Amino acid sequence: MRPNSLAFRLFASAAAWTLVVLPVTAFLLLSLYRQAVERSFDARLNVYLTSLIASTTAEGASTPKAPANLGEPVFTIPFSGWYWQIKPFEGAAERPLFVSDSLLDQQLKLPSQQGAAPDQHLIRRAYAPGPQDQRLRVVEREIKPAGALSAPYSYAVAGDAAEIDKDLAEFRMMLIAALAVLGLGLVVATLFQVRFGLSPLRAIRHNLAAIRSGDAERLEGELPTEIRPLQQELNALIQSNREIVERARTHVGNLAHALKTPLSVITNEARERNDPLASKVVEQAELMRTQITHHLDRARVAARSSAIGDITDVDGVLNGLKRALDRIYENRALQLTVDSSPGLKFQGEKQDFEEMVGNLLDNACKWAKSQVWVSAARCDGAGNFEVLVDDDGPGLTGPDRARAVKRGQRLDETKPGSGLGLSIVAELAHLYKGRFDLEPSPQGGLRARLNLPAA
């Protein structure tokens, strides 16, 4: 896919959207899972906290009593990561402080000391550093023993947050793997969707190429509903183009007959008289006939050059011209060599190509000493091809080459012809958006370089 293609734009936009959505989705899912894991862990800590409160409070007592065993060995193993603590908020020196055996002589850093706000049940939750650089999840609740003057106590239970981190790490790896597979699948599906969705456009391109090359006359085939109007409009445009070309040919023929008949009458009447005026009328009438024929032919070619579907086999035309010229110049024993790339096609009508190359070859044969070379090959990196006609004749100087392509210019009256040959080639090449140049030939004579559109 090229960067400026419609397929690349669709694929790039879908891929970019996928690369944005999947990381955002991963972040949201990871956040939701973290909250779920923390709620589950806090619920476990809350069970221990409730058991701790129940085992240390007595009816009517103003201070908590020493707690009983909570039934979990982890609270007896030193620095196991699981701890509980009962601590007065005020008067720590006069009031009892209880800690789990696992905490030894250490104390927990409470959420209340970190400024954590209590919920509706007066429970605070926070992460806090523990003994031996442990990371703890701490749940704290404020309990006020019986008696109006009793000071509140802080009941806290802490668990090792490594369990939370481990669950999150495992979920993160599974989530990344799942989303990576999903992202790859979406990219592949998008690529397939773009290729499949735009395949009718590729079919249209191939069909148009077939029409341009003359292998088809209209766009055929069943296309999607969205593209069917385009197919209909293109077929209508192709048909309209053919009708315009046909009308132009008809008008050109009608105009030629309409003008030539009066000119013939004028010429015949003038020839019956033997005076200078009649001679001048005949001369000018013949000139008008030549000009009319010339420009009507150019109008005909201009109409044909814009037509769709006309192609000409280059190799066939060149070899056909070679056979004809070999017979014409048989008495001079000229050697005419043809070298053409196989499969080369001219985007235009055969008659016009024969006229251009035929004029060049005829001119080369007139001036060649013994050899004429003609070659045709496609230009590199372009939609054109070149025809080169070389001879070993006397050649032309720079000013003479410029004059030779002007209509009616003859550089030597000893050779037969009207002087229109090279100018016709130049005009035909221009009408086909090609180019015609004369230059010195490597063979010592003149080289004619004709650049034309290839099919």
pLDDT tens per residue, the chain (455 residues)? 677 778 888 888 888 888 899 999 999 999 999 999 999 999 999 999 998 888 887 665 667 887 777 778 899 899 999 999 998 876 555 677 889 989 888 999 999 888 899 888 889 999 999 998 899 999 999 887 765 456 788 999 999 999 999 999 999 999 999 999 999 998 898 888 888 888 888 888 888 877 776 677 788 878 888 888 888 888 888 888 878 877 777 777 777 777 777 888 888 888 888 888 888 888 888 888 777 776 666 666 655 555 555 788 899 999 999 999 998 888 888 899 999 988 888 888 888 899 899 999 998 999 899 899 999 998 876 678 999 999 998 888 878 877 776 644 444 444 444 345 687 888 888 888 888 989 999 888 899 999 998 87
Cα–Cα dist 451/447, whole Å: 13
Neighbours of 35 (CB within 10 A): 10
Q: Do the Cβ atoms of 336 and 372 come closer than 8 Å? A: yes
The pLDDT value given to residue 157: 95
Based on the number of CB atoms within 10 Å of its own CB, is 440 exposed (0-12), middle (13-18) or buried (19 or more)?
middle
The pLDDT value given to residue 155: 92
Based on the number of CB atoms within 10 Å of its own CB, is 229 exposed (0-12), middle (13-18) or buried (19 or more)?
exposed
Nearest to 318 by CA among 361, 352, 367: 361
The pLDDT value given to residue 413: 41
Task: Extract the tokens encoding 164.
Answer: 């939370």
Q: How many CA atoms lie within 13 A of 179 on its CB side?
A: 19
Task: Extract the tokens encoding 440.
Answer: 């010195």
Question: Do β-strands 446-453 and 335-340 pair in parallel, antiparallel, or remain unpaired?
Answer: unpaired
Nearest to 13 by CA among 146, 225, 155, 190: 190
Cα–Cα dist 282/127, whole Å: 116
Task: Extract the tokens encoding 171.
Answer: 């979920």
The pLDDT value given to residue 412: 45
pTM, to two decimals: 0.52
Neighbours of 68 (CB within 10 A): 11
> Phi/psi of residue 275, each to 5°?
-150, 165
Based on the number of CB atoms within 10 Å of its own CB, is 453 exposed (0-12), middle (13-18) or buried (19 or more)?
middle
Say how many Å lie between the first and final Cα of the chain, rounded.
25
Based on the number of CB atoms within 10 Å of its own CB, is 420 exposed (0-12), middle (13-18) or buried (19 or more)?
middle
> Phi/psi of residue 39, each to 5°?
-65, -40
The pLDDT value given to residue 305: 55
> Phi/psi of residue 92, each to 5°?
-65, -25
The pLDDT value given to residue 297: 66
The pLDDT value given to residue 343: 85
Which residues, at least 6 apart from 324, have a Cβ–Cβ distance to it below 8 Å? none
